[in-house]
Amino acid sequence: MKNINVGIVGLGRLGKEHAKNLAFRIAGVKLNAACSIVKSELEYAKKELGVQDVYSDYREMLKQADIDAVVIVTTSSEHCWQIAAALDAGKHVFSDKPLGVTIEECRLAEAAVAKHADQIFFLGFMRRFDPSYAYAKEKIKQGLIGRPYMIKATGIDPEALVEGAIKFAPTSGGIFTDMAIHDIDLMRWFLEDNPVEVYANGATFKHPEFKAANDDETGVAMYKCAKGGIGFVHVGRTASYGYHVETEIIGTEGTLRISPVPEKNLCAIYDIHGVVKECVTGFPERFAEAYRLEMENFIACIRSNKQPEVSVFDGTKSTQIAFATTTSYRNKEVIKIGY
Amino acid sequence: MKNINVGIVGLGRLGKEHAKNLAFRIAGVKLNAACSIVKSELEYAKKELGVQDVYSDYREMLKQADIDAVVIVTTSSEHCWQIAAALDAGKHVFSDKPLGVTIEECRLAEAAVAKHADQIFFLGFMRRFDPSYAYAKEKIKQGLIGRPYMIKATGIDPEALVEGAIKFAPTSGGIFTDMAIHDIDLMRWFLEDNPVEVYANGATFKHPEFKAANDDETGVAMYKCAKGGIGFVHVGRTASYGYHVETEIIGTEGTLRISPVPEKNLCAIYDIHGVVKECVTGFPERFAEAYRLEMENFIACIRSNKQPEVSVFDGTKSTQIAFATTTSYRNKEVIKIGY
Amino acid sequence: MKNINVGIVGLGRLGKEHAKNLAFRIAGVKLNAACSIVKSELEYAKKELGVQDVYSDYREMLKQADIDAVVIVTTSSEHCWQIAAALDAGKHVFSDKPLGVTIEECRLAEAAVAKHADQIFFLGFMRRFDPSYAYAKEKIKQGLIGRPYMIKATGIDPEALVEGAIKFAPTSGGIFTDMAIHDIDLMRWFLEDNPVEVYANGATFKHPEFKAANDDETGVAMYKCAKGGIGFVHVGRTASYGYHVETEIIGTEGTLRISPVPEKNLCAIYDIHGVVKECVTGFPERFAEAYRLEMENFIACIRSNKQPEVSVFDGTKSTQIAFATTTSYRNKEVIKIGY
Amino acid sequence: MKNINVGIVGLGRLGKEHAKNLAFRIAGVKLNAACSIVKSELEYAKKELGVQDVYSDYREMLKQADIDAVVIVTTSSEHCWQIAAALDAGKHVFSDKPLGVTIEECRLAEAAVAKHADQIFFLGFMRRFDPSYAYAKEKIKQGLIGRPYMIKATGIDPEALVEGAIKFAPTSGGIFTDMAIHDIDLMRWFLEDNPVEVYANGATFKHPEFKAANDDETGVAMYKCAKGGIGFVHVGRTASYGYHVETEIIGTEGTLRISPVPEKNLCAIYDIHGVVKECVTGFPERFAEAYRLEMENFIACIRSNKQPEVSVFDGTKSTQIAFATTTSYRNKEVIKIGY
């Protein structure tokens, strides 16, 4: 079994997680090259990951590095052209979500993927690989909850990280584009249905800076799907207790609820406050295993020459839905979603 | 301490609960008279409650019975005129929710209450007296979660009772009027704010009879409040696991969540299915203590000559909001709510 | 249906609870007389309970009061003679646990009960009436966990009340007599078996006053039962989080666990500490409903002329087991238990 | 950073887990050799692990393979001599628990470790590396629960695996040696104290085959420690719901409870049974991450030339305690434990 050689582009917070998984925790893969426009990230690659073949120019890496595949963890606005360039260079591609920041970009990525149908294109909706979410999907397939027809999703970042969110607010594209994309993907995945209408709203009661940036610290959206399913998404940035991602899928025969208590681990504390479960502090802690498993799956797709479950079109659709949600939120009206 | 003498009108399922509380479980009260148009219910009053002074004519009871107060547990459409008649007869009044089934009726009740400002008028939103809800309200008052700005409410009847709901559907006024009134009251109570806009939707995937009755088995509604708060209400009729009433109140400093697992009691079962909590089967089981405590509070109000926290205007408003929700649901448009 | 008239003796903390249940919360009963050697308790009876017929002499109450039954909530050392005197006076008897503080006393009570087999004798092991415990027993009867063969019991008083426990320690008879009697009763009830051997131990790490009183702040005991069942009991006095009573019953096909989190109610708090459940503060809060239900059952036993499930012999046996446990604890040896 | 080269001996169920971690999931390590007396296991090493340098003779591997360290996952009775041989050959050693099956063997291992104080010796009590247990230990170090003075431990294998346990019973050394060794280690670790006395008991109500093999399907033991701490251990083999490992540590200021519900993941099922958490099925599922982390720690110890927290003496002591427990269980008497 020959190793799959991989080059990574982008070594920020999440990029480092992916790189460590590729370098140390997945069978049959070798992290052979790394690219970043940040010098210290290339030092990191050499010293911590043992990757000597480093680049500051992405196209250079595609041309020269001994790699079968590229893992893209750059700023969202760079994803699409980097996807196309890598595919054109004959590489398999893993891109972190979202697919792109405009629909036009997404279409370019779609075209590139279509042109290279024999290469793997993998879009990083890692929640699908989280053991609890994967278990829920499996149970649904087995019919445990009958026909799933409603999803209620919550995603709240910890108050501890709010300063960054405030700084990022003016350029983030708004809370829905920024935070709801995973929930939107889960809604489509669990309901096997596409939203055709959305109505959104928001609120700010703690950090007026969000309002000042034409954004909100809390957003809610209600979706109606083509086959009649319903979605409700609640995103926010100010959970005092930690990082709260919770999802409920309601079916005709039962309900699945994932992580109502975003517990850090299996230990409960009985002390003067009562019985306490401490909570996870952020997505790297909550989804560490999911990030590893999705990358393992990417490598398995390459090896077996099978496209992954999530397609480039899923990427475009999630982005379209996030945009429609933002439009509804800004215009204060019900928005029909076309694809 | 002289006993308060009470007459009850209506001895159906909930009426019997109220009657038993009045007869046996509350200090300083005597159930002295009972009225019903159903003969067997009067037999029940004599035999099980020890009430000998029974009536089939409500006005007759008001005229003749030795009572200080009336407890109204009749069909919703009878509430308002019975409230007015009792007040005019000089009695204190407890009426089960909703206040009325038309706004006109509600206005009549409001007028009667205004005319008799020295008599107690008590509207039975019993959830406010449930120990867990009362505790949540108290914690909010103490500032535990900062400024509460969002409520997420779930109320699902058990599938085991769906036949009755189907039969009742054509005349129920729709799922929101029928089921969301308590959640609407809780939203107003916890947020101390009034919804000014609603958007609603529904779904039916199990029992097409609801669709046939121009209703749905599931309803969802998103509210925007005057001060900027947000409400989300999800009601349904087909919980396979029991009776599910859950409420979450989100504030700037924390969140309170009441009854995410609608557990029957404190016993968990570890068996071949895993670790299992059985669930409550319906509102009489879930809110037994709340029904007792609200009645205790009604008597305390009479004794101390203090009007209760919930006013007749709260009753009208809840009904107005439920109607607006139904209009949004039926017309598929965002509805502004005026009062 | 004629009322059952009751006289109560003892109006301390628990006595008041029983009295309020008798006076206000149970159908078909009238609290007609009260007796106490504490003057303020008789004032309470008159003012708060509306009982005018009060006594400072117990035998006087038995002779003169218009009562069918007596409820005994006095100091443990008074129980047995008061039971005998009441039975001799032709009254039905409810006595709080324990039956007595010496085996000799218990034998006297047994004799009195035997002599008056047509009168009801009810011993107040109220945990059997707690809805969660009663549910567990019912599930066991239905065969849900197969053959129950092991019980693990925890009973820890709140640190908040430790001052009283310290004061009481020199005369309490030791932690097992004082605190384990309910757990011992539950072990016998759930296993339908009698311990024939015990080994006990203790520890004090917080309040040396207990050691000074030849007692401990924590006690543990392991029991072997006649039919092979096993019991483990852990009692203590220093729970920082509240009042912790937990019981696990292990059977061949499953396990039941009652109250692993001694939660105050159904509300969870999500705040800077994590996700928190506040805990009950003591037995009056935890077992309020159990106290009411056992008294209701006492009245029902009188009315139907049926002896209750718990007999006077159960009372003696629990006391014998508690004594054997204390002997094992003090002598540091395995003790055989004879009956 | 040079790779650490490792050879593994034993590729059974747990051996394969260790081998996969070494081969694929840990930075800076290379699985360079494998040894087994089972031919198919060597095939597995070649095909699945990519290890070409395989041996059927352990001493041969020590002599010829290019390895810095040996990982021993053989039958317990082989551990000690293999430890000594590897240390004598200049290799660092990881041995799975228990250290040995006789105290004499353990002493030989102790001597070998003493002779090679500059080589790492690592004993595989992996629970200490489980994130929840490690978190509990950390919280204790921070003083969260004050002085820990009592541990209650439960370890029950799933009924689904009982056939193997029955077959193994006649040669297993009894339920305590077989199953309680981890709980004993945790007791010593959390209390920082050594048991000096034990009293044990057992029960069999489901599978008489255990009794026939002079063993029991359930075992309980109560420990008294040198500094006054208390331990209670409950082990069993017939959990209908899965694999149940639970540990409670009680301190003067609070309690920590790890895994009271041995939940499979974060998803709860709401269906006709109630609200259900499915459970883990066995130790490989429950402790997958712990196995990886302990091996990572072994490699880190080698790299930093620091002995691990668990010493060879901890291994001997745990074995001594397990033996004393078995003696108490078989002789039905309190046993003093000397070291």
| Residue B149 backbone dihedrals phi, psi, to 5 degrees | -135, -5
User: Distance, in angstroms, between D167 CA and closest chain C CA?
Assistant: 19
C94: amino acid identity, one letter: F
**Residues B278, B282, B284: CA angle, nearest 5 degrees:** 120
Max Cα distance, chain B (Å): 63
Judged by CB atoms closer than 8 Å, whether chains meet at A218 and B149 is answered as yes
CB contact under 8 A, A203 and B149: yes
Are B225 and B149 within 8 A, CB to CB? no
Q: Average pLDDT of C136-145? A: 98
d(CA C244, CA A76): 52
Alpha-carbon distance of B338 to B317, in angstroms, equals: 9
The answer to whether D154 touches D232, Cβ cutoff 8 Å, is: no
What Cα–Cα distance (Å) separates residue B114 from each residue in B84, B100, C205?
A: 10, 17, 64
In DSSP terms, D218 is beta-bridged to D203, D236
Percent of chain C with pLDDT over 70: 100
Phi, psi torsion values for C236, nearest 5 degrees: -160, 180
Q: Which member of A240, A254, A257 has the closest CB to residue B253?
A: A240
**Contact residues, chain D, for B272 at CB < 8 Å:** 240-241
**Mean pLDDT across chain B, nearest whole number?**
97
pLDDT at B115: 98
Average pLDDT, chain C: 97
Whether B26 and C27 lie within 8 Å, measured CB to CB: no
Q: How far is B260 from chain D (nearest CA, A)?
A: 10
Query: If we measure between CA atoms, which residue out of D22, D15, D17 comes closest to residue D73?
Result: D15
Instruction: Using alpha carbons, select from B294, B242, B328 the residue that is nearest to residue B134.
Output: B294
Indicate the residue of D149, D228, D253 with minimum beta-carbon distance to C240. D253
- Structure tokens given for C174: 């030791």
Determine phi and psi for D8, rounding to 5 degrees.
Answer: -110, 145
Task: Name every residue in C having a CB less than 8 A away from some CB of B.
Answer: 1, 20, 23-28, 50, 131-133, 135-136, 139, 144-145, 253-260, 263-272
Angle at CA of residue B250, ends A321 and A213, nearest 5°: 55
Picking from D20, D26, D253, the nearest residue to A271 by CB comes out as D253
Residue D98: DSSP 8-state: P
pLDDT for residue B171 = 85
pLDDT at position C178: 87
Residue D90 gets which letter from DSSP? T
User: CB distance D266–A256 less than 8 Å?
Assistant: no
pLDDT value of residue B24:
94
What residues contact residue A333 under an 8 Å CB cut-off, 6+ apart?
Answer: A199, B334
Which residues 6+ apart lie within 8 Å of A66 measured at CB?
A5, A32, A33, A53
Look up tokens 């072990």; give the residue: C187
Q: How far is CA C158 from the centre of its chain?
A: 17
Identify the H or E element spanning D109.
helix D103-115
CB A147 within 8 A of CB B205: yes
DSSP C313-339: HHHHHHHHHHHHHHHHHHHTS-EE---
Q: What is the pLDDT of residues C277-289, one digit of tens each?
A: 999 999 999 999 9
Q: Which residues, 6+ apart, have CB-to-CB distance to D209 below 8 Å?
A: D166, D169
**Do B300 and B142 contact (CB within 8 A), yes or no?**
no
Contacts of C338 (CB under 8 A, 6+ apart): none
Q: Which of C147, C220, C228 comes nearest D222 by C-beta? A: C220
- Whole-number Å distance between alpha carbons of A68 and D5: 27
Distance CA B252, CA B236 (A): 29
% pLDDT > 90, chain A:
97
DSSP 3-state of C173? coil
Position A312 confidence tier, pLDDT thresholds 50, 70, 90: very high
- Where chain B has pLDDT below 50, the residues are none
Q: What is the pLDDT along chain D (339 residues), one digit of tens a residue?
A: 689 999 999 999 999 999 999 999 999 999 999 999 999 999 999 999 999 999 999 999 999 999 999 999 999 999 999 999 999 999 999 999 999 999 999 999 999 999 999 999 999 999 999 999 999 999 999 999 999 999 999 999 999 999 999 998 888 889 999 899 999 999 999 999 999 999 999 999 999 999 999 999 999 999 999 999 999 999 999 999 999 999 999 999 999 999 999 999 999 999 999 999 999 999 999 999 999 999 999 999 999 999 999 999 999 999 999 999 999 999 999 999 999
Q: The pTM is what?
A: 0.97
Q: Mean pLDDT throughout C218-238? A: 98
| pLDDT tens per residue, range C294-328 | 999 999 999 999 999 999 999 999 999 999 999 99
Closest Cα in chain B, distance from residue C232 (Å): 19
The Cα C147–Cα C224 span in angstroms is 16
Give the chain D residue nearest B272 (alpha carbons): D241
% of chain C residues with pLDDT over 90: 97
- Nearest-Cα distance to chain C for A260, in Å, is 10
Asked if A222 lies within 8 A of B205 by C-beta distance, the reply is no
Chain B residues in contact with A238 (beta carbon < 8 A):
252
Task: Say how far apart CA A207 and CA A216 lie, in whole Å.
Answer: 9
Q: Tell me if C275 and A277 make a contact (CB, 8 A cut-off).
A: yes
Cross-chain Cβ contact C271/B264 below 8 Å? no
Contact B254 C268 (CB under 8 A): no
DSSP A23: I
What are the chain C neighbours of D205 within 8 Å (beta carbons)?
A: 146-147, 149, 228, 252
Question: Which residue from D201, D205, D236 is facing C224, i.e. has the nearest CB?
Answer: D201
3-state secondary structure chain B: CCCEEEEEECCCHHHHHHHHHHHHHCCCEEEEEEECCCHHHHHHHHHHCCCCCEECCHHHHHHHCCCCEEEECCCHHHHHHHHHHHHHCCCEEEEECCCCCCHHHHHHHHHHHHHCCCCCEEEECHHHHCHHHHHHHHHHHCCCCCCEEEEEEEEEEEHHHHHHHHHHHHHCCCHHHHHCHHHHHHHHHHHCCCEEEEEEEEECCCCHHHHHCCCCCEEEEEEEECCCCEEEEEEEEEECCCCEEEEEEEECCCEEEECCCCECCCEEEEECCEEEECECCCHHHHCHHHHHHHHHHHHHHHHHCCCCCCCHHHHHHHHHHHHHHHHHHHHCCCEECCC
What is the C-alpha to C-alpha distance for residues C213 and C222, in angstroms, rounded to an integer? 23
- Among partner residues B241, B263, B274, which is closest to D241 by beta-carbon distance? B274
How far apart are the CA of C228 and the nearest CA of chain D, in angstroms?
6
User: Domains along chain B?
Assistant: 4-119 (3.40.50.720), 128-287+318-336 (3.30.360.10)
pLDDT value, residue A257: 98
8 Å CB contact between A13 and A40: no
- Which residues 6+ apart lie within 8 Å of C199 measured at CB? C221, C222, C328, C333, C334, C335, D199, D222, D334
Amino acid code (one letter) for A102: T
CA distances in angstroms from D214 to A3, B243, D177, D208, listed in the order given: 53, 50, 14, 10
At residue A178, the pLDDT reads 87
Contact flag D277-B275 (C-beta cutoff 8 Å): yes
Chain B nearest CA to D233, separation (Å): 19
What sign for the dihedral angle of Cα B288, B293, B296, B301? negative
Helix (H) or strand (E) run with residue A75 in it = none
Q: Do C234 and D146 touch (CB under 8 A)?
A: no
Nearest to B270 by CA among A275, C139, A256: C139
Contact residues, chain B, for D268 at CB < 8 Å = 261
CB contact under 8 A, A264 and D50: no
CA distance D131 to D169: 32
pLDDT tens track for C146-193: 999 999 999 999 999 999 999 988 888 899 998 999 999 999 999 999
Which residue of C lies nearest to D216 if distances are taken between CA atoms?
C228
Q: Do D272 and B239 touch (CB under 8 A)?
A: no
Please indicate whether, in this complex, the C-beta atoms of D149 and C205 are within 8 angstroms of each other.
Answer: yes
Q: Which of B267, B287, B296, B299 to mutate to test the interface with C (most CBs of C within 10 A)?
A: B267
Q: At what angle do helices D181-191 and D131-141 cross, to 10 degrees?
A: 20
Shortest CA distance to B147 belongs to which of A216, A238, A332, C268? A238
**pLDDT score of C1 more than 90:** no
Quick one: pLDDT at residue A238? 96
Cis omega (within 30 of 0) for bond into D262: no
